[in-house]
Structure 1
Amino acid sequence: MRFALDSSHEDFASSIDALLAKSDMPAVIRAWSAGDTGPGLKVWQRLAEIGLGGLLVGEDHDGVGADAVDLVVAVEQLGRHAVPGPVVDTVAVAPVLLAAAAPDRLPALASGALATVAAAPDVPFAVDADVADLVLHVDGSAMSVGTPGQPRESVDPARRLFPVSAGESLGKADFGAAFDLGALATAAQLQGLGRTLLERTTEYAQQRRQFGRAIGSFQAVKHHLAEVAVALEMARPLLHGAALSVRDGLPQASRDVSAAKVACGDAAYRAARTALQVHGAIGYTREHDLSLWLTKVRALVTAWGTPDVHRARIVDALEAS
């Protein structure tokens, strides 16, 4: 199995990174948290213009017709910049669900529409249903247009959660495949978030001085940062391997996705804890940009299947093999 990305993947990642680097994402995230979604929706429209919204939409519906490897490459960059909104639902899950039951709605996704999904028990709430152009409710294999209820608070202020009730029926859909893609995309987001936390914490450790020395020169700080770097690098082949399994329709794809979700979640959570330890309490204040990444990691670790859910899926798959 080949894990290395080719030049087209690297160029695609670079184009997304360059676009988001120019967008002042901390200001966009804070505006989204305060209810001003205008700046964030402009970012989403620019992402749609480079093909992100239609990444998994077939070319016959105005999309790109890409695969799970392209998905992971793209969503990791969205994670690196902590892009607000229903990232996983729009880019990964809704295209699969709609392709099976309501393909006439796919061109809207390709042109920049946002979608969000609720499917109890593993996905009990729809993210940012007040902003999404399409809210989907899934109950078993039955899919319908959803009606959002009253929002619930999330540990991530830029992430609003809505209970959803079923409305107009859209037909049948395979939520199992959609759930795997949702978990895979969430793992990619966590990998990107962890990378940014490591980079920012390393930079801070080189700048902050204590006892006349940069704290990054202290052995204990070096060890913590090295452990984060190792965890992220060990998670990466699991993430890419899962993407290949999904792309190729391998029978172990669900197991591989769960392994990637657990590994990327653990690595990102370690990165968050280390970042907070190195920065001190200021890193968790709302005024500090680091908090925007910390809270999103905490929210996504349990999104699209908790660690316990995914560990159980791994055990079941191994026992069945």
Structure 2
Amino acid sequence: MRFSSVFSWFGVSLQGLRGSGPSSTQDVQPAEITESELTPLAAGLENTEEIEPDYIEEPYDFKTTDITSQDYLPDRGYFASIYPNGETRVYSDHYDDDGQETMLSIYFDEDRQVTSFRNDELRYEKDHDYKLPLHYIFKALCYRQSIDYFAMDWIVMDIFDLHTLEHIEQYRESNLLGIEDDIRLTEKDSYWGIFSNTYYYQQASRMIPARIDKMIIRRQERWIEGTNYLATVAHLIMFSFKSFDSRGRDPPATDPAEIRALEVVAAAIGAVDETEAANLKNELGIKPEAGADTLDDFAEAAPEKPDTEPASEDS
């Protein structure tokens, strides 16, 4: 019984195994893959072959680095208006909303070899990637107008910061100078280091390839004749560039050549004052009557004073 059960079990098992054995190739039919089942894969391959990477072409923003180029200033958002009287007005897209307000006035006096800066508002220009310092603007304009900046003997600037004005007052007090007296500084003066660290010296020293041999600071009252405007008190700082003929010597203030040089720069400053006054009168619409030679005659042609007067600026 035990053996028959075993064989019986083996018989069933073997029969089951034989029934589960592999069929002949004639019994197995390959499954058919329909076209619909291939479509997604085929479509994906087709799209992969047709899609090309998208290249975004960035605009080529070329800006010349050649300061002698006529495009140097416009490339950086600066523009200039040149007038026959030697005045050049500078504008910036980053100074006011429409770039129409004068940000800086430069007067090139080639006959007297003096360059004067007025209305310097560069400190109020908004920051941007191509913002230029004053000495770069100066040189670019010289190249644009074919001005030989090597020949300039004087650079004259208005002082506008209170810190420098405080040093001027301290110098006057410590040296017993009156308010109308000029301050004359050479490299031997103890205050030379103070004023040579100012914005004005740092810019002027980069404008002309020569050594600054002296600085002269002058107080000036600017009256606009024919108007009811109060006088504006300004402080000028004048930088003298040592000429080749000086041979390393600083002439004293009493030297005839030195006196003549100061007369020349004073004449250049006076010419700038006249132009600035004429510009203001033109803006105010003031026109002198024929034959009006005196201040009183000229004042009669002036319009009535506005309700609000500009305050006098004294330091």
| Structures share fold, TM-score greater than 0.5 | no
**Of the two structures, which has the highest relative contact order with CA contacts closer than 8 Å and spacing of 6 or more?**
1
Higher strand content, 1 or 2: 2
TM-score in terms of structure 1 length: 0.29
Bigger Cα Rg: 2
TM-score in terms of structure 2 length: 0.30
